[in-house]
A and B are shown apart, each in its own frame.
Chain A
Amino acid sequence: MTSNKKELAVAALKAGTVIDRIPSTALFKAVKLLGIENLDRNVTIGNNLESRKIGKKGIIKIADTVFPETVLNRIALIAPTAVVNTIENFEVKDKRQVELPETIVGIVKCDNPKCITNNEPMDTKFHVVGHDPVVIRCHYCNHTVEGKDAKIL
C-alpha cells in the first residue's frame, strides 16, 4: 500500500475517497454520476494523467466523504476500470474495483425519444446485457446503448 500512498499524495488527502483509473473520456460523466458538483467539500479533479494500465486516465479526490457502494458502482457503467480508494489518516484503508449492478434505475436517460420513460414522469430502468464492452438495454423500449455512450440524467 505504500506505493499507492506516494502516487495518491499529489494533493494529499487526510480522509475521504479517491477514485482512480477512470478513462479520461469518462471523467466528467463520472463527476456527474457521483453528484459532487454541488458538494462543499474539498474536491480535486485531475485528467489526462499517464496510466500504464489504461492509457490516459482521470482521477477524482473527495475529502471527508464516503459514498454508498450503490453510488460508487454507478461509475462502472462508464468506467468499468475505475478503482475506489478509501482514505483514512493519509493511508489507503480500502481499495476496490467498481462493480456493475445488474439493473440500473433512475440514472441513465433512454436515448429513444419514443420511449415511454421520456414521456411519463417515471424512473428509467436498464438491464446490463453485455460486459465487455458494457451494454445496457432499456427495460421498457428495449433499446440498447454502450455504457460509455449512456446519457446521464
Chain B
Amino acid sequence: MTSKSLVSISDIDKEEMLHLLELSRYFEENPNSKILDGRVVATLFFEPSTRTRLSFETAVNRLGGRVIGFSDANSTSTSKGETLKDTIKMVSNYVDLIVMRHHLEGAARYATEVTSKPIINAGDGANQHPSQTMLDLYSIYKTQGTLENLTITMVGDLKYGRTVHSLLMAMRYFNPTFNFIACDELQMPAEYKKFCIDNGIRFNESTDFSADVINSSDIIYMTRVQRERFTDIMEYERVKDLYRLHNSMLDNSKPTLKILHPLPRVNEIDQDVDDNPKAYYFQQAGNGLFARQAIITRALGIDPLAK
C-alpha cells in the first residue's frame, strides 16, 4: 500500500491525472461507502476557508472516515508561536492523513518534509490549490466527454489568478488551444506564456472579450476581477464591465459550451446567465466533492477501481 501527498498539480503525471478523473467519476456514481472505515483525517485550516473545508470534510464523511481539526489558526497553539513543523508533527501522531490550508506559500511542501503521513494541500497562499484544479479538470472532462483538443477561454484576472495558472499547466497533456482575455493590467504572466510555447500549446491573447472568441470556445473560464489588484482605480472603473458575461452574449455559442468559475463570483457573470444550461459553475463546485474523494483515497493508497 502506497500513500501519496498532493501538494501541487505538477506532482502528478498524465496517467495519474486520468486515474484521478476515473476515480472522481466512480465516486460520483458511488458517493457513500465505508472505504475509510477506521481512518482519521485531520483538516488543519491555519487560514479559514469554509467552502474548501466543508468540501473536504464531506468527502471524508461520505467515505466513512472521521475528521479532526481546526478551522482557523486562532484556536491553536500556532497563535502562541508554535512552529508549523511542531504542529504537523503533533497532529501526525493522531491521524492517517492531513489536509491543510495555510496563508504562507510553500507551507504544504514543507509539511511533507517533516512527517511521513501524506499531506493534501488545500491551498497555500497564492501558490497551489491542486484539488481546485482536479475539480476543474473533472468538470471539463465530464461535460465535454474528453480533455483532448479543446478551446478554453480564460477571462478576467489572468495575472494573479492561481486557478487559471494551475489549469493551464495541467492541460499541457491534452493539446488545448487557449484564449487569454484580460485588460492590460491583468494579462497572463510571461512565464505561463513561455510555458505554453515550450509545451507547444497554442494561445491567443486579447483585451477584447469578443463574439468570435465566445463562439469558438468549448469552455469559458471566468475569474473575479478584484479592485485591490489595480494600482489605478480609474483603470478598474474603466475595465470592470468589459469582462462581464451576459446571457445574450451566448446566443451563438457552441451548444456544448460550458461556463466555469471557481466561485465566489461577484458580478463578472450576470445573474441572467444562471438559468442557461451552459452555466456550469454551481455543478462545478459540486464536483469538488468527488474530486476530493478521489484525492483522499489516492493519498491513503486505497483504490476502489483496482478491485
A84 in contact (CB, < 8 A): no
Within the assembled complex, what's the spacing in Å between the Cα atoms of A117 and B126? 15
CB distance from B247 to the nearest CB of A (A): 38
B residues less than 8 Å from A90 (CB atoms): none
A residues less than 8 Å from B126 (CB atoms): 114
Within the assembled complex, what's the spacing in Å between the Cα atoms of A97 and B105? 35
Question: How many CB-defined contacts (below 8 Å) exist between A and B?
Answer: 48
Stretch at the interface among B61-69, B106-114, B211-219, B236-244: B106-114
Within the assembled complex, what's the spacing in Å between the Cα atoms of A14 and B111? 50
A122 in contact (CB, < 8 A): yes
**Known contacts A120-B110, A141-B127, A142-B127: A115-B83 contact under CB 8 Å:** no
A116 adjacent to B83 (CB under 8 Å): no
B265 in contact (CB, < 8 A): no
A114 adjacent to B109 (CB under 8 Å): no
B84 adjacent to A141 (CB under 8 Å): no
A112 in contact (CB, < 8 A): yes
Picked from A116, A121, A122, the residue with its CB within 8 Å of the CB of B105 is A116
B191 in contact (CB, < 8 A): yes
Picked from A112, A119, A140, the residue with its CB within 8 Å of the CB of B109 is A140
Digit string of B117-128 for contact with A (CB within 8 Å is 1, else 0)?
000000011111
**Known contacts A114-B103, A140-B105, A141-B106: A120-B127 contact under CB 8 Å:** no
Within the assembled complex, what's the spacing in Å between the Cα atoms of A115 and B74? 20
**Known contacts A119-B104, A140-B105, A141-B105: A114-B125 contact under CB 8 Å:** yes
B residues less than 8 Å from A117 (CB atoms): 106, 110
B85 in contact (CB, < 8 A): yes
B109 adjacent to A144 (CB under 8 Å): no
CB distance from A104 to the nearest CB of B (A): 15
Picked from B83, B106, B191, the residue with its CB within 8 Å of the CB of A140 is B106
Interface residue count on the B side (C-beta < 8 Å):
18
Shortest Cβ distance from A142 into B: residue: B127
B83 adjacent to A114 (CB under 8 Å): no
A115 adjacent to B109 (CB under 8 Å): no
CB distance from A121 to the nearest CB of B (A): 7
Within the assembled complex, what's the spacing in Å between the Cα atoms of A102 and B93? 35
CB distance from B43 to the nearest CB of A (A): 19
B residues less than 8 Å from A127 (CB atoms): none
**Candidate in A112, A142, A143 with the most chain B CB atoms within 10 angstroms:** A142
Within the assembled complex, what's the spacing in Å between the Cα atoms of A138 and B191? 15
A122 adjacent to B125 (CB under 8 Å): no
Within the assembled complex, what's the spacing in Å between the Cα atoms of A122 and B107? 12
A29 in contact (CB, < 8 A): no
B106 adjacent to A115 (CB under 8 Å): yes
Shortest Cβ distance from B114 into A: residue: A122
B residues less than 8 Å from A112 (CB atoms): 105
Picked from B85, B102, B109, the residue with its CB within 8 Å of the CB of A139 is B109
Mind listing 6 A-B residue pairs with CB under 8 Å? A114-B125, A117-B106, A120-B84, A120-B110, A139-B109, A140-B110
